[in-house]
Amino acid sequence: MLRLIVICFLLGLPAASHRAQASAVHALVIGIDRYESAGGSLRDLEGAVNDAHDIADVLQAQGARSVTRLINDDAGRDSIFAALDALKARANPGDTLMITYAGHGAREPARNPDQVEDGLDEVMVLGRFRPEYPQNYERIFDYEWRAFVQGATEFNVVLVFDACHSGTLNRAVGQGRTRFAQYGAITQDALPPPTVTETQSAAEPVLEHELYVGATLDTLVVTEIPIDGMPRGALSYHFARAIEGSADLDGDGVITRGELQRYLAVRVREMTEARQFPVIAFAGDGAAPLLPVAAPAETGAPVLRDSSRETAQTLPVAAAPARTDLATCLARAMPSSTPLGLALQSFDTATEAQLYAALARSAQPAAPEDAALRWDRDSGAITSLHGDIVTTLPVGAQDQIAHLRAVVEKWQVLPAFNRLGECLAPLDVSLAPGYGTHCEGAQVEVTISPRKGSYLTLFNIASDGTLQHLYPVARYGDPLQFPPEQPWRMPLEVSAPFGGDHLIALASATDPSALIAALGAFDGRQAVRPALDALRAEISASNYEIGILPLYTRAGPCP
């Protein structure tokens, strides 16, 4: 939980200018779940193919000129390079070439170590890859992607890589499926070593015609997470939502580079509990138009799809409605009716049965690697899929079932708050001194960046599901409005209960008095569902931006 200290002080930010947009989109979408070395050095994934089909479907609905899907075994090294050549052959100068990849990434000892600063090469690992010859042919290096970009200067190139290259984390490692392959040095390589020029090209900055989107920083990993009941990559999921219209933040029918950057940076960080910080790199102006957004149509146009969904196929596509009106979007922002996956660890069979029976409507048994929450009997810790301790509940604690039910309910409802982010503009809510685990008594500072609305509202959902109305609070005389072009800051102090907190920040163009009154009535209560209902009701009549800030705490002083 958090305790308010003082209020705010202000700063400002500059604006950007415009460029011309591409005339047509040609896409190559790659997704690999099946790896021949599964059980060995590479583990099978479950969400990469889901990611690929989602992105491809949205691109087709948005009227992309051509979309090629390479799925699992079809995504071999030779077929990928052939598809890249075909992509350029189909496009006209000024068109956009979009390449997306979901699957394993890796870092391996550089084959020219004296030419690489960190001594490592970044690698995209394909399904038929094995470290042994000749299967090690099935991988693609970062300098090979640079060569493709450098040879496509007459086009706009968008690269989206939902994979990771490193295993270092800022918090404990979770138990989910990560998109990081480890296999060590390759002793007999089927691929020739790079030239000096190729090695050097990998370190060059992005070019004027290029936009690069990576799942996270090289010091973090990418974990597959359940979204709408399916394993997914957070970057791919939100990239699909972005290009179908959610990243069109000003509603002008065009997504700019800067709008894509802002949308992905905020939404991916939120959905991954601040485990992923996507890298969006481009040269020049963030106001440069990137992609048009198909306007809603009165009648649904047909969408052509790859009926096999497991083969490589290039399909012409028809324009179709993709953007969703606010009312429809809000209707989707509801808690799932499916019980939450809960893994009970180190419990005896009788106790497990008793607990699951008591939580029958809200939780169901799940394997540890797939469970949204895991409760360990020995430590009392309830951890998330990412490995964070969301709360501690010792066995035999008073009102144990009631506390557990409240925690489960919070994590059932939390995705619905995330879904609101697909309906509304992103509000960038950041945390200082960082996103690690914060200790009892520590002071942290929440910053809300420039926004459209001048009215601010902030509340917290504590680790045990208790709602805290933080701002504005009438008895403190908090002002309702602040200049929207200036960041706003609030220092807070870490206090019990400890675990996973989630701050919900809202900016609105209209007076949110009804919402503020509702939050005040819920203050200090386990009222996460009523808070969501109140928020959805208020948003339906107002223009809001929303940001969600995960914050993890623990008892005791920092070491």
3-state percent helix, strand, coil for the chain, nearest multiple of 5: 25, 25, 45
Residue 499 · residue 439 · CB < 8 Å: no
Highest mean pLDDT among 28-42, 68-82, 477-491: 68-82
Nearest partner of 467 among 415, 520, 545, 512, judged by Cα: 520
Note the pLDDT tens digit of each residue in 361-382.
Answer: 899 999 988 899 999 999 999 9
Q: How far apart are CA 379 and CA 399, in angstroms?
A: 18
Residue 12 · residue 486 · CB < 8 Å: yes
**Which residues neighbour 353 within 8 Å (Cβ) at sequence distance 6 or greater?**
none
Pairing assessment for the beta strands 455-461 and 2-4 based on DSSP bridges: unpaired
Q: In the prediction, which pLDDT does 220 show?
A: 58
The enclosing H or E element of 96 equals: strand 96-102
**Which residues neighbour 533 within 8 Å (Cβ) at sequence distance 6 or greater?**
none
What mean pLDDT is predicted for residues 295-317?
A: 37
Least confident of 94-98, 153-157, 196-200, 233-237: 196-200
Report the share of the chain in percent with pLDDT over 70: 84
Q: In the prediction, which pLDDT does 22 show?
A: 43
Note the pLDDT tens digit of each residue in 20-30.
Answer: 344 799 999 99
- CATH of region 422-554: 2.60.40.1930
Handedness of CA 377, 380, 381, 384 (dihedral sign): positive
Greater pLDDT, 15 or 223: 223
Least confident of 302-311, 352-361, 461-470: 302-311
Note the pLDDT tens digit of each residue in 520-547.
Answer: 999 999 999 999 999 999 888 778 999 9
Highest mean pLDDT among 56-70, 129-143, 270-284: 56-70
For residue 255, which amino acid is it?
Answer: I
Confidence of residue 406 (pLDDT cuts 50, 70, 90): very high
Q: How far apart are CA 137 and CA 127, in angstroms?
A: 11
Q: How far apart are CA 512 and CA 303, in angstroms?
A: 40
Measured from the Cβ of residue 129, the count of other Cβ atoms closer than 10 Å reads: 27
Handedness of CA 264, 268, 274, 278 (dihedral sign): negative
Query: What is the overall mean pLDDT for the chain?
Result: 84
Between helices 400-423 and 528-539, what is the axis angle to 10°?
20
Residue by residue, DSSP assigns 305-360 as --SSSSS-EEE----------HHHHHHH-S--SSPEEEEEES--HHHHHHHHHHTT
Residue 191 pLDDT > 70: yes
Least confident of 146-150, 228-232, 253-257: 228-232
Q: In the prediction, which pLDDT does 52 show?
A: 98
Greater pLDDT, 219 or 396: 396
Least confident of 56-60, 225-229, 504-508: 225-229
Burial of 325 (0-12, 13-18, 19+ CB in 10 A): exposed
What mean pLDDT is predicted for residues 378-405?
A: 88
Where in the chain are the domains?
25-323, 340-411, 422-554
Report the share of the chain in percent with pLDDT over 90: 61
The enclosing H or E element of 149 equals: helix 142-150
**Which residues neighbour 221 within 8 Å (Cβ) at sequence distance 6 or greater?**
164, 166, 167, 169, 173, 178, 179, 180, 275
Q: How far apart are CA 226 and CA 228, in angstroms?
A: 7
Q: How far apart are CA 516 and CA 459, in angstroms?
A: 10
The class (CATH top level) of 25-323 is alpha beta
